Amino acid sequence: MMKPYSEMKKEELITLKEKLEKQFEDVKGKGLNLDMSRGKPSKAQLDLSNGLMNVLTGNCDLVSSEGVDCRNYGVLDGIFEARKLLADMSEVPERSVLIYGNSSLNVMFDTVSRAMTHGFMGSTPWSKLKKVKFLCPVPGYDRHFAITEFFGIEMVNVPLLQTGPDMDIVEKLVSEDASIKGIWCVPKYSNPTGISYSDETVRRFAHLKPAAKDFRIFWDNAYSIHHLYEDKKDVVLEILNECIKADNPDIVIKFISTSKVSFPGSGIAALAASRGNLEDARRYMRFQTIGYDKLNQLRHVRFFEDMQGMHEHMKKHAEILRPKFEKVQEVLEKELGGLEIGTWTKPLGGYFISFDSLEGCAKAIVAKAKEAGLILTGAGATYPYGKDPRDSNIRIAPSFPTVEELELAAEIFVLSVKLVSVDKFLKG
């Protein structure tokens, strides 16, 4: 095994760089075009849900269990069967769920927008306040940060630990600063690190005592059933029930969808929350829509039938995804293990691997990989405003390419890491 770069003499580093540059030019000459930039399901994963297209036909019964003709107007909360299915997915009672359209990201955007224009449950609209802040566990999901940046909300970084956000910092900040109105959370198989929140973290969230009465935890349960291994599953304590037990029911709003379960562009999204938060949401929904797509809701219910059907479906997703994650991990370990020029996560679910390079190297690694035909998520994307203070975090998304393409992509990636790291040591 090669010794760590930090222990190499200058002459060794120069020799190594020459060797790596030759390997890089060879790969570059292949004219590859590979993409590991977004967590998109592959065609094979999308094909798993093709039955959705046939489950409803012009001759079938299009009436819900409560006698609702799903072709017509009405039913603001969504049909009962869809509420029950997504409630089971969210681990909450059916009465705690509202069904929306196809995207939980859209529901999150709407929720922030509503807080800006009308406030939560009678509170002052955020747009009328001098300053509004949001806590952002980092590294985190770029689209969350994009929403708050769009509305001009100041984002405050909070370190994401192996157990979840640093709760000492969260508790201190929210208890002292009434301008802090929320926090973004991806509690299971977090984007991009793949970590899941501990029971203690969830309970501490439930017992928060924020200075702002309209503070909300934005609990994005995007990967709640997205396990890679049947015998190794992360389990996260259900937060809404914990908040109710803590006599703090209104503090959390949960978001969930079938976006990486069925079709990402044509799934079902839902919001789960307390009675007060649900009624608050209904007030604007009554002006926004007469009812979301009930045929799509019925289609999903008929296809999956129940939560067991959904779990069986997700096992098929795991069979496709698992070899891809393992291939990337295999190449990273083989090529970078022991070199002390990078660390990476080994998630049990979700869609991403988080890689941390030597400080100051992430942007250069992403640019180097692009030279050889590999597109990665932009360095800094996992931090608010696209500014990683250490310039070290890179999100790897293995889901879309084939296993064969991933092997090539991973080889380009590790070559880029090695070259940029060698340069860093040579420059002193």
Judge whether residue 290 has pLDDT over 90.
yes
pLDDT of residue 59: 87
Mean local confidence (pLDDT), 255-272: 96
Question: Of 32, 381, 121, which is closest to residue 111 (Cα–Cα)?
Answer: 121
Does residue 34 share a domain with residue 80?
no
Does residue 141 share a domain with residue 217?
yes
Does residue 194 share a domain with residue 254?
yes
Tell me, what DSSP letter sits at residue 186?
Answer: -
Reading the block at residue 42, the tokens are: 């592959």
Q: Are 413 and 374 in contact (CB under 8 A)?
A: yes
pTM of the model: 0.96
| Domain stops at, among 240, 275, 305 | 305
**CA distances from residue 91 to 87, 107, 256, 362, 381 in whole angstroms, order as listed:** 6, 19, 11, 38, 31
* CATH code, domain carrying 258: 3.40.640.10
Does residue 210 share a domain with residue 180?
yes
Mean local confidence (pLDDT), 250-255: 98
Q: Please write the tens of the pLDDT for every residue from 340-382.
A: 999 999 999 999 999 999 999 999 999 999 999 999 999 999 9
Q: Please write the tens of the pLDDT for every residue from 104-131.
A: 999 999 999 999 999 999 999 999 999 9
pLDDT of residue 16: 97
> How many CB atoms sit inside 10 A of residue 49's CB?
22
Does residue 78 share a domain with residue 37?
no
Question: Of 83, 49, 45, which is closest to residue 66 (Cα–Cα)?
Answer: 83
Which band of pLDDT confidence, cut at 50, 70 and 90, is reported for residue 93? very high
Judge whether residue 58 has pLDDT over 90.
no
pLDDT of residue 428: 79
Does residue 320 share a domain with residue 301?
no
Judge whether residue 2 has pLDDT over 90.
no
Q: Residue 41 sits in which domain range? A: 5-45+311-427
Judge whether residue 273 has pLDDT over 70.
yes
**Partners of 69 in the beta sheet?**
63
Question: Of 139, 232, 218, which is closest to residue 185 (Cα–Cα)?
Answer: 218
Q: What residues have CB less than 8 Å from 92, skipping those under 6 apart?
A: 238, 240, 241, 254, 272
Q: Please write the tens of the pLDDT for every residue from 165-191.
A: 999 999 999 999 999 999 999 999 999
Does residue 297 share a domain with residue 324?
no
| Domain stops at, among 266, 289, 305 | 305
Mean local confidence (pLDDT), 219-244: 97
Q: Please write the tens of the pLDDT for every residue from 9-55.
A: 999 999 999 999 999 999 999 998 999 998 999 999 999 999 999 99
Judge whether residue 1 has pLDDT over 80.
no
